[in-house]
Structure 1
Amino acid sequence: MNSDHYTYRVTWSAEDAEHVGLCAEFPSLSWLAATPAEALAGIRSVVADCVRDMSAHGEPVPVPLADRRYSGEFKVRIPPEQHRRLAIEASEQGVSLNRLVSAKLASGA
């Protein structure tokens, strides 16, 4: 498993007064450092060590988000009233409910 394919992020931690490196596929791991570059290098190193250890012990290693296949479909449950409101809005706009909701998700509305 190539640990370079994982999803890394560096953010500022006001609580720790340092930058924190994170990996989406390993939410329990983090690395604090004085600079963003050090935080990124630290979390990448920790993840690589963790992947090696998991592999050596026959444990399943998380598949990187970037390497996963996505169908483009997911189900979401909403209250019937909201479903009705969205169906009406889609009809008024002359688009499918799917297209309306997809556009709203894409725009953050």
Structure 2
Amino acid sequence: MSADHYTYRVTWSPEDGEHVGLCAEFPSLSWLAGTPDAALKGIRRIVAQCVEDMRQSGEDIPQPLAEKHYSGQFRVRIPPEVHRSLATQAAEQGVSLNRLASAKLAA
């Protein structure tokens, strides 16, 4: 497994006054740097080190999000009044509740 397959993001941290590199699969790791490029390089380096340490110690290494299989289905529990409201909206629009919910989630 390559550390290059993980999901990286760089954002500005107003609290730190620097760019912060993040990895979705390793939420406890971050890297602060003065430039976006340096933040990305830093987080990629620390994730690669972490993966290597995990490999050497026999720990389970997180699977990259990009390599996971997604069925396109998940369950959501909502209050009955929200369910009723969504069902009413779907009926008024002439679409299924599933289609209405999917459209709202995509927006």
TM-score category of the 2 structures, normalised to the smaller one: over 0.9
Percent same amino acid among aligned pairs? 72
Structure 1, unpaired ranges of 5+: none
Q: Distance in 1 between matches of 2:38 and 2:59?
A: 28
Aligned to 1:68: 68
Structure 1 stretches of 4+ with a deviation exceeding 6 A read none
Aligned to 2:9: 9
The CA deviation at 1:91 is: 1.0
* Secondary structure at 1:21 match in 2: strand
Q: Distance in 2 between matches of 1:41 and 1:54?
A: 20
TM-score by length of 2: 0.98
Q: How does 1:9-28 map to 2 (within 5 A)?
A: 9-28=9-28
Counterpart amino acid of residue 90 in structure 1? A
Count of aligned pairs between the two proteins? 107
The answer to whether structure 1 residue 29 and structure 2 residue 20 are counterparts is no
Structure 2, unpaired ranges of 5+: none
Aligned to 1:95: 95
1:45-86 deviation per Cα after TM superposition (whole angstroms, max 9, x unaligned): 000000011001100000001100001011111111110111
TM-score by length of 1: 0.96
* Secondary structure at 2:105 match in 1: helix
